[in-house]
């Protein structure tokens, strides 16, 4: 959609609107052709009024005077026509998110858009605001506009659309008439065909190593906080936690790695009930972490490979004696990890920022797995990696499980969850569903749970 | 009491307005750049270039107004260099700005030596003469202070009105303010962010250069080294003091100039009992105080100093 609107230039192919080819990379041309876009992150200037934001770019830059009267008149008329109440002279900084979105829509309508693209428009809205938005959209369609509504929420798509196109991995996975399809059908299209599963090796699980009972968090992490979530993790298993990002995964990972406290609930680690631990204690307790964001959290880009590798263990006697770091030991350790984990990097002294995502992730794996942790929290461990690196990460996680570690695999990718996990749970809005063995729930059922349907019933 | 009497003399206010004029030009220039999202630390160097270019044009036989135009164009060219480095290339605005200041200043001194290898004392030119405005200049104190100045001072005040008009009343100003607040808003409306920013930096630099030219063409009548003497840096503070608004920045420039004019007169009054450095310091100490009091709550342009790359999030 950013190509359509001209923010990006397509590598191949062309865009045609109303029979005319659009020049690539030119939002102005897209606007002229009648394409309007409501970005997920609003493109409004907070220091200006609603009217000014809407008038921006609609009058020639070389006009000696901005014609406010005319702009205001048109805006008020438009707002009336579409029932989008707005105060033209309010500063955008004073508006609620829903109101700002209304301004964005009016901006497109003011430009006489005939095709309106909405990118995840409900992500920032309250349910009531979303309802109002749907009514507006129906009204717009009634007036002859075409609307592209981009969303990963199936219920919204079913509620608002006439026709649905499912995208998966940059390709069109299918096209349906909304009236002739079901949510399950779309869910299947979204996640792809049921993959052929590798034969399930029945590994006898060990004891319960970690039990969360009705645990809630305070919302320090991004996304939803945990809301009375319960989960049991056993030795020697991979527990897959599926869910759309932003539903409490960050809070769970932060809780387990010690960076966010629990506000309620009980945590039992290795049979011992205990208060949440600090990040330092997490390491000592044998909790290995593969963070979600390897650039921002997992590594320090401008430090070397060796420095990054000892970040979690530099206090140990291995790398530190009498308060001084032993760089020879650190470099030797880095060389071991580089060799053992097949990392392509020039030397232990290379800055980690310069490595590819896959190699960076291998280093993080090495750092997390080398001390043989008892619990491994892998949050989106393969996001953004190429196929080869994905397979490598998967192999290492399975290896850790076979050694007897408990692996919590948090992922948005259902195929990954289905392929790796011994048991599967779903997280949605901070709640965690009951746990089932792999194969007990179909992809569709998991997809439904991920979208937040029937979770209460299942839990 | 004598110290307060100074404030009632016309000559004090004439001096204050004269000292304020170059600051007004350069502050407006900096304000335009920052409103569009670019911090222009090249200001000190660009003012030096303007001072020299204007003076040299007249010295080589050019008309006074031609001198002003040449100063503006040379300023705009250095602005273009600054803009090319900071806008499309997205380099650090701090580093580029200081680099431009060093480059422009040194290049000016070098050129001065090249064209005038022999001189020891700076040659003088015939500067702008005061142009009293009939009628208005007869008003006591105010008339003398505001309406008996040189044409360049009038131009300085006019530049405030023009900048304010452009920023708040024209589609172009709307785009400039938006580019400094949220560039993606500008791009989403089909306007080139780079175009707006480059234009703003060039226009702003032209104003700074005219501010520099004021010093050689309307105040000191000749060009000498170190003559800008930190005025550019003061203007950067004045923009903050004025909360990025032309009117408030104008008041700030006049206030600072008044302090400056006042301290010179106080020096004469105390007759050497108090070290003169104390008085020299006064305007700066007061500007720091004013900044602390006024600018702490200032809302600065949100995208100031953040390079915009199309298609980047």
Instruction: Identify the weakest region by mean pLDDT among A353-362, B68-77, B177-186.
Output: A353-362
Q: Which of A27, A29, A47 sits opposite B181 (nearest CB)?
A: A47
| Percent of chain A clearing pLDDT 70 (strictly above) | 90
Tell me the residue range of the domain where B37 lies: 2-115+138-294
Nearest CA in chain A to B185: A43
Please indicate if any CB of chain B lies within 8 Å of the CB of A47. yes
Is B176 at the interface with chain A, CB within 8 A? no
* pTM more than 0.90: no
Q: What is the pLDDT of residue A203?
A: 61
Residue of B nearest to A49 (CA): B174
B29 Cα to chain A: minimum distance (Å):
19
Average pLDDT over residues B72-79: 97
Interface test with B, best of A49, A51, A56 (most B CBs within 10 A): A56
**Domain presence at residue B95:** yes
B138/A contact by beta carbon, under 8 A? no
Instruction: Give the model confidence (pLDDT) of A50-109 as tens digits.
Output: 999 999 989 888 888 999 999 999 999 998 888 888 899 999 988 888 888 899 999 999
| Rama region for A322: left / alpha / beta (φ>0; ψ in -120 to 50; rest) | left
Q: Quick: pLDDT tens for B228-255.
A: 999 999 999 999 989 999 999 999 999 9
A83 CB within 8 Å of a chain B CB: no
- Report the alpha-carbon distance of residue B22 to residue B32 in Å, rounded: 16
Residue B306, domain member (yes or no): no
pLDDT at A8: 66
Q: How many CB atoms within 10 Å of residue A76?
A: 13
Concatenated DSSP letters of A364-421: HHHHHHTT--SEEEEESTTTT--HHHHHHHHHHHHHHHHTT-EEEEEES-HHHHHHH-
Are the beta carbons of A47 and B187 separated by less than 8 Å? Answer: no
- Can you tell me the mean pLDDT for A302-331? 88
Q: What's the CA gap between A122 and A107, in Å, rounded?
A: 18
A276 CA to chain B: closest CA distance, Å?
36
CB distance A53–B184 less than 8 Å? no
Q: Tell whether A28 lies on the interface with B, counting CB pairs under 8 A.
A: yes
Report the chain B residue with the minimal C-alpha distance to residue A28. B190
| B170 touching chain A per CB within 8 A | yes
Domain count for chain B, please give it. 1
Residues of B in contact with A110 (CB under 8 A): none
Query: Which chain B residue has its CA at the smallest distance from A39's CA?
Result: B188
B120 in any annotated domain:
no
Angstroms from A209 CA to nearest CA on chain B? 41
Among candidates B169, B174, B299 on the partner chain, residue whose Cβ is nearest the Cβ of A56: B174
A64 touching chain B per CB within 8 A: yes
Assess if residue B57 is contained within a domain.
yes
Domains of chain A: 15-191 (3.40.50.300), 208-458 (3.40.50.300)
Model confidence at B296: pLDDT above 90? no
The span from the CA of B211 to the CA of B74, in Å, is: 12
B198 to each of A251, A333, B84, B203, B211, how far by Cα in Å?
44, 50, 7, 9, 20
Q: A61 and B302 in contact by Cβ < 8 A?
A: no
Residue B177 to residue A48, Cβ atoms within 8 A: yes
Residue A69 near chain B (CB below 8 Å):
no
Chain B residues touching A52 at Cβ < 8 A? 174
Give chain A's length: 459
Question: Given pLDDT bands bounded at 50, 70 and 90, which one contains residue A10?
Answer: low
Measured between CB atoms, does B169 come within 8 Å of chain A? yes
The residue ranking higher by pLDDT, A216 or A128, is A216
Question: What does residue A365 show for φ and ψ, rounded to 5 degrees?
Answer: -60, -45
Interface check B310 vs A, CB under 8 A: yes
**Nearest-CB residue to A66 (from B170, B184, B299):** B170
CA distance B220 to chain A (A): 36
- B-chain residue closest to A37, CA distance: B188
Q: How many CB atoms lie within 10 A of CB A431?
A: 21
Distance from CA of B263 to the nearest CA of A (A): 38
Residue A11 confidence (pLDDT): 65
- Report yes or no: A103 at the B interface, CB cutoff 8 Å: no
pLDDT confidence of residue A196? 42
Say if the Cβ atoms of B191 and A64 lie within 8 Å. no
From residue A454, alpha-carbon distances to A178, A425, B16 in Å are 22, 13, 76
Flag whether pLDDT at B313 surpasses 70: no
Q: Is there a contact between A7 and B189 if contact means CB atoms under 8 Å apart? A: no
Is the CB of residue A61 less than 8 Å away from at least one CB of chain B? yes
Q: Looking at residue B74, what is its pLDDT?
A: 97
In a domain, B228, yes or no: yes
C-alpha distances in Å from residue B157, one per residue of A272, B246, B251: 77, 11, 11
The CATH number linked to B23 is: 1.10.3470
What secondary structure does DSSP assign to B165-220, as a single string?
HHHHHSHHHHHHHHHHH-HHHHHHTT--HHHHHHHHHHHHHHHHHHHHHHIIIIIS
Q: Is the distance from CB of B144 to CB of B14 less than 8 angstroms?
A: yes
Tens digits of residue pLDDT in A357-391: 788 889 999 999 988 899 999 998 887 676 667 77
CB pairs under 8 A between A and B: 91
Is B186 at the interface with chain A, CB within 8 A? yes
Residue A269 confidence (pLDDT): 86
Beta carbons of A334 and A362 less than 8 angstroms apart: no
Strands A229-234 and A238-242: unpaired
End-to-end CA distance of chain B: 62
Is A289 in a helix, a strand, or coil? Answer: strand
The nearest alpha carbon in chain A to B199 belongs to: A61
Gap between the Cα atoms of A162 and A181, Å rounded: 11
Residue B312 lies in a domain: no
Chain A residue with minimum CA distance to B165: A65
Task: Kindly give the pairing relationship between strand A238-242 and strand A406-411.
Answer: parallel
Chain segment A163-211, per-residue pLDDT in tens: 988 877 677 888 888 888 887 788 777 766 544 445 555 566 667 888 8
In a domain, B92, yes or no: yes
């Amino acid at each position: 959609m950013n190509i359509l609107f001209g923010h990006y230039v397509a590598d191949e192919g062309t865009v045609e609107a109303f029979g005319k080819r659009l020049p690539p990379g030119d939002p102005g041309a897209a606007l002229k052709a009648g394409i309007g876009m409501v970005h997920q992150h609003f493109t409004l200037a907070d220091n200006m009024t609603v009217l000014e934001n809407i008038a921006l770019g609609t009058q020639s830059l070389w006009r000696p005077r901005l014609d406010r009267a005319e702009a205001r008149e048109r805006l008020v008329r438009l707002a009336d026509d579409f029932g989008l109440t707005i105060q033209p002279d309010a500063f955008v900084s004073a508006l609620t998110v829903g109101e700002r979105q209304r301004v964005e829509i009016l901006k497109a309508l003011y430009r006489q858009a005939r095709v309106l693209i909405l990118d995840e428009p409900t992500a920032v809205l309250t349910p009531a605001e979303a309802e109002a938005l749907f009514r507006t959209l129906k009204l717009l369609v009634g007036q002859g506009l075409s609307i592209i509504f981009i969303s990963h929420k199936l219920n919204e798509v079913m509620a608002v659309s006439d026709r649905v196109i499912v995208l998966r991995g940059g390709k069109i996975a299918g096209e349906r008439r909304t009236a002739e399809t079901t949510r399950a059908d779309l869910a299947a299209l979204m996640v792809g065909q049921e993959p052929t599963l590798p034969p399930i090796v029945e590994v006898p699980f060990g004891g319960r190593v970690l039990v969360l009972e009705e645990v809630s968090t305070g919302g320090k992490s991004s996304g939803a906080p945990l809301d009375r979530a319960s989960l049991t993790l056993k030795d020697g298993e991979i527990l897959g936690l599926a869910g759309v990002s932003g539903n409490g995964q960050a809070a769970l990972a932060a809780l387990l790695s010690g960076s966010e406290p629990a506000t309620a609930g009980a945590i039992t680690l290795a049979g011992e009930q205990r208060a949440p631990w600090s990040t330092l204690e997490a390491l000592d307790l044998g909790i290995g972490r593969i963070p979600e964001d390897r650039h921002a959290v997992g590594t320090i880009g401008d430090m070397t490979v060796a420095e990054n590798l000892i970040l979690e263990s530099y206090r140990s006697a291995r790398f530190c004696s009498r308060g001084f770091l032993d760089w020879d030991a650190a470099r030797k350790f880095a060389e071991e990890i580089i060799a053992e984990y097949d990392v392509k990097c020039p030397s232990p002294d290379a800055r980690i920022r310069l490595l590819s995502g896959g190699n960076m992730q291998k280093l993080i794996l090495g750092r997390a797995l080398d001390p043989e942790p008892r619990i491994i929290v892998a949050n989106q461990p393969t996001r953004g990696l190429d196929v080869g690196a994905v397979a490598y990460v998967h192999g290492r996680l399975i290896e850790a499980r076979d050694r007897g570690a408990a692996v919590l695999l948090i992922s948005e990718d259902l195929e990954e969850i289905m392929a790796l996990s011994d048991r599967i749970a779903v997280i949605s809005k901070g709640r965690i569903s009951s746990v089932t063995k792999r194969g007990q729930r179909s992809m569709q059922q998991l997809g439904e749970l991920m979208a937040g349907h029937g979770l209460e019933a299942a839990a | 009491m004598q110290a307060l009497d100074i404030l009632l003399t016309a000559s004090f206010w004439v001096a204050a307005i004269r000292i304020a004029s170059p600051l007004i030009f350069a502050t407006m220039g900096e304000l335009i750049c920052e409103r569009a999202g670019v911090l222009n630390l090249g200001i000190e160097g660009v003012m030096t270039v303007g001072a020299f270019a204007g003076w040299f044009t007249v010295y080589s036989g050019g008309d006074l107004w031609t001198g002003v135009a040449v100063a503006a164009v040379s300023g705009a060219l250095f602005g273009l260099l600054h803009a090319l480095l900071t806008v499309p290339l997205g380099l650090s605005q701090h580093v580029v700005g200081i680099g431009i200041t060093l480059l422009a200043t040194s290049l000016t001194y070098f050129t001065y030596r090249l064209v005038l290898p022999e001189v020891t004392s700076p040659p003088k030119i015939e500067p702008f003469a005061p142009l009293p405005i009939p009628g208005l200049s007869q008003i006591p104190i105010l008339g003398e202070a505001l309406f008996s100045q040189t044409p360049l001072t009038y131009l300085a005040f006019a530049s405030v009105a023009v900048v304010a008009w452009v920023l708040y009343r024209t589609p172009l100003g709307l785009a400039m303010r938006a580019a400094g607040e949220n560039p993606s808003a500008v791009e989403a409306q089909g306007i080139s962010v780079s175009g707006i920013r480059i234009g703003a930096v060039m226009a702003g630099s032209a104003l700074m250069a005219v501010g520099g030219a004021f010093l050689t063409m309307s105040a000191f009548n000749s060009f000498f080294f170190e003559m800008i003497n930190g005025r550019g840096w003061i203007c950067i503070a004045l923009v903050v003091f004025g909360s990025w608004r032309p009117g408030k920045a104008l008041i700030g420039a006049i206030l600072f100039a008044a302090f400056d004019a006042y301290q010179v007169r106080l020096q004469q009054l105390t007759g050497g009992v108090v070290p003169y450095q104390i008085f020299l310091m006064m305007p700066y100490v007061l500007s720091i105080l004013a900044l602390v009091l006024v600018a702490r709550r200032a809302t600065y342009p949100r995208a100031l100093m953040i390079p915009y790359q199309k298609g980047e999030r």
